[in-house]
Chain A
Amino acid sequence: MRKVYLDNAATTPVDKRVLAAARPYFSQRFGNASEPHLWGQEARRAIETAREKVADFLGAKPKEIIFTSCATESINLAHKGLLEAKLREFQNPKSQIPKKLHIITSSVEHKAVLETCKHLEKLGWAKVTYLPVDKYGMVRVSDVKQAIRPETILVSVMYVNNEVGTIEPVAEIGKVIKGINRSRRASHSPPLYFHTDATQAIQYLDCEVDKLGVDLLSLTGHKFCAPKGIGALYVRSGVPIVRQQDGGEQERGLRAGTENVPGIVALGEAIGQVQRSTFQVQNRVKELRDRLIDGVLKISGTKLTGHPTKRAPHIASFVIEGVEGEAMLLLLSDKGVAASSGSACTSGVLGPSHVLTAMGISAEVSHGSLRFSLGKDTAGEDIDYVLKVLPGIVVQLRKMAPAA
């Protein structure tokens, strides 16, 4: 049976060259980078080389990169670390920081952002505005503008939505924030910081931080063929962050704990590969995705979710009438196909996807949600195969369902 893995937005296979680059750092060059001996130096050099690669990809300085374990950790560090730093400033009586800090984010963020924001609200550190989105899952730049108040300290908007693939207007929001900060500087008010969760964007989109106008950017390796357990946070020079994991002085004192050297080396290698190949891969993946979308939409009662054009190359997401998502995943898996769904039955908390709900899609319709996410190695034959087996599965499940 053919095996077709179309769940690359969940995770990707580790690339052979990435694995080869990381392998020596398990048993041969295993040193602790904090030690001054030869072994330690070797590990230190490997970490700093990887840091340069990540920085180069983002158009940043190496010292602005902090290695973490994953995007969730980066996001937690960025939000909690910034808020804690600002609250410390506030304790200085001369400071002009207003009493209640304010965060703006979107209602379609990953749980890592939403739950972190909820935690900050619970701690009483901040008030949070969760911006609505349009029917494509896109944040309106004008909504961001309108939500900004004098006490707003952080705007956090994802680059690419993981469920529907919509590309958020991050660079436009960056411009708005730049304008706000010009006038804040003139009035000696504290600046507004901009974070983006770029987890789904690294493989295919331009992630240069100056073009995006972001101060903080979170990413994770396993979405672009590095292993799980390694991520990074970009922190623009001058952005105040208080570490959230206490211990040693690793990562400029911002993330304690012995560095994951093989993971860091792998991340550096993987991001370097993305940088060298982005353009060709992007076009090929986009073509295949469009072929998949066209094919799926030929099945009656199917609709594309997310923006029709402003979407990441690798994500094709749908709602399919009269079938339940998890049942589709089971039957697809039987045919060797991996996909994903945002149906309530697959969520673990039995609620419909918050992303689809925010887009105005009813629980009944999102019950039949299905997401395919392509990878750099997805082949045309893979798409043909999925288009061959999916219609039969939909028919089979519709036959099983009671008439409305």
Chain B
Amino acid sequence: MDLQTFYSKKVLEHVRHPRNMGELKNPDGVATVGNRVCGDIMRLYIKVTKRGGREYIGDVRFQTLGCGAAIATSSIITTMVKGRLLAEAEKITDKAVAEALGGLPPVKMHCSLLAADALKKAIEDYRRKR
């Protein structure tokens, strides 16, 4: 497998330099999702800030055990939602995640689903706790 042509430059860049990686202490919402098919595990933490009665994602972090696509999708989704309205963030689709990375190989599309799913569940967790 030629890794350079298999993955876009953007994917590889996120694998090399993941953004917002690590644990977030005292998160407002957290979710761990796993992919039974390939074994990847992703955990997403969010901190919610309120301004003018509206909820924003103030901070977001991820931890991932998985392949290049799993790392890159979790990394990029954090950059896509940081500072955004909660209501907007939860609408982010797996397709948007894959597109933001300049596309993913077909066999790796499920990794973007994992990232979008982790975000949705973290937001749900926040709402439940509230």
A binding-site residues for B, Cβ under 8 Å: 322-327, 329-331, 333-334, 343-346, 348, 350-352, 363-364, 367, 397, 399-403
Contact = CB atoms under 8 A, between A and B. Distances in A.
A402 B43 contact: yes
B85 interface: no
Given A330-B12, A346-B1, A402-B63, A324 B70 contact: yes
A339 to B, nearest CB: 11
Given A329-B3, A345-B70, A364 B32 contact: no
Interface string B1-38: 10110010000100110100111000000001000011
13 contacts: A324-B39, A327-B70, A329-B3, A343-B39, A344-B39, A345-B69, A345-B108, A346-B1, A350-B107, A352-B39, A367-B38, A402-B64, A403-B63
B28 to A, nearest CB: 18
B40 interface: yes
B66 interface: yes
A326 B68 contact: yes
B32 A402 contact: yes
Given A346-B67, A400-B64, A401-B65, A324 B40 contact: yes
B37 A327 contact: no
A59 B79 CA distance: 63
Contacts of A334: 16
B97 interface: no
Interface of B: 1, 3-4, 7, 12, 15-16, 18, 21-23, 32, 37-43, 63-71, 107-108, 110
Secondary structure at the B interface, as helix, strand, loop or mixed, is: mixed
Given A324-B70, A345-B108, A402-B41, 18 more contacts: A324-B39, A324-B66, A324-B67, A325-B67, A327-B67, A327-B71, A344-B38, A345-B67, A346-B1, A363-B39, A367-B38, A367-B65, A400-B64, A400-B65, A401-B41, A401-B65, A402-B63, A403-B23
Nearest to A325: B67
Contacts of A344: 37-39
Contact of B15 (A322, A323, A331, A403): A331
CB-CB nearest 7 A-B residue pairs = A345-B67, A401-B65, A402-B63, A402-B43, A326-B67, A344-B38, A367-B39
Contacts of B15: 327, 330-331
Nearest to B63: A402
Nearest to A344: B38
A242 B39 CA distance: 44
Secondary structure at the A interface, as helix, strand, loop or mixed, is: helix
A333 B67 contact: no
A401 B39 CA distance: 13
A372 to B, nearest CB: 16
Given A330-B3, A346-B1, A350-B37, A400 B63 contact: yes
Contacts of B23: 403
Nearest to B74: A400
Nearest to A323: B65
Contacts of A403: 23, 63
Contacts of B68: 326-327, 330
Contacts of A348: 107
Nearest to B21: A400
A330 B4 CA distance: 9
B38 A400 contact: no
A334 B7 CA distance: 13
A118 to B, nearest CB: 21
B38 A402 contact: no
